[in-house]
């Protein structure tokens, strides 16, 4: 029962955080596309790790966008307290999630490996 509630709350947090960042945060640095890949809240709902992917090839823009997201943590939390009907809204800790880039890099490496007809690597 607890596990089901945790999954549901984490999913709701994920949706709510994305909506607030996308539509309510007014920052000139939130120009790049981003996504909330996962939210993991503690059992007591005091803290939550928010994994963010920023989709940009320019490292400077990516860093600026992530910094703008981190700077808006208190605003996002206050907005969540207005819309979500729970006693405690967790303190948000944003973490840059590079897993998609890492996966793409591994896929590119695997695609460069060529095999001969008899199954041996060349």
Q: Give the pLDDT confidence score for residue 109 in this predicted structure.
A: 84
Q: Please, which pLDDT band fits residue 107 given cuts at 50, 70 and 90?
A: confident
* Overall average pLDDT of the 51-67 stretch: 91
> Measured between alpha carbons, how far is 9 from 84 in angstroms, rounded to an integer?
10
User: Could you tell me the residue range of the domain that residue 25 belongs to?
Assistant: 2-112
User: Does residue 85 lie in a domain region?
Assistant: yes
The enclosing domain of 56 has a CATH number of: 3.30.300.20
In a domain, 121, yes or no: no
Instruction: Say if 117 falls within a structural domain.
Output: no
Assigned domain for 118 exists: no
Would you say residue 56 lies in a domain? yes
Of residues 106 and 96, the one with the higher pLDDT is: 96
Sole residue written with tokens 């947090």 = 13
Tokens encoding 63: 């860093």
pLDDT value of position 93: 97
Question: Averaged over 90-109, what is the pLDDT?
Answer: 85
pTM above 0.85, yes or no: no
User: Residue 110's pLDDT is what?
Assistant: 82
Count the domains in the chain: 1
In the chain, % of residues over pLDDT 70: 92
What are the distances in angstroms from CA 54 to CA 33, 36, 42, 58, 110?
A: 6, 9, 24, 10, 24
- What is the average pLDDT score of the chain? 88
Say how far apart CA 14 and CA 56 lie, in whole Å.
21
What does the chain come to in residues? 122
Considering the domain boundaries, does residue 59 fall inside one? Answer: yes
* % of the chain surpassing 90 pLDDT: 57
- Residue with tokens 């910094």, as numbered in its chain: 67
């Amino acid at each position: 029962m607890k596990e089901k509630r945790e999954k549901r709350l984490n999913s709701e947090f994920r949706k709510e955080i994305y909506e607030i960042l996308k539509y309510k945060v007014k920052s000139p640095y939130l120009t790049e596309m981003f996504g909330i890949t996962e939210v993991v809240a503690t059992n007591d709902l005091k803290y939550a790790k928010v994994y963010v992917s920023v989709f940009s090839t320019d490292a400077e823009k990516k860093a600026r966008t992530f910094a703008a997201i981190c700077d808006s943590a208190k605003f996002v939390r206050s907005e969540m307290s207005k819309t979500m009907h729970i006693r405690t809204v967790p303190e948000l800790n944003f973490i840059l999630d590079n897993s998609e880039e890492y996966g793409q890099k591994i896929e590119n490496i695997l695609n460069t490996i060529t095999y001969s007809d008899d199954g041996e690597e060349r």
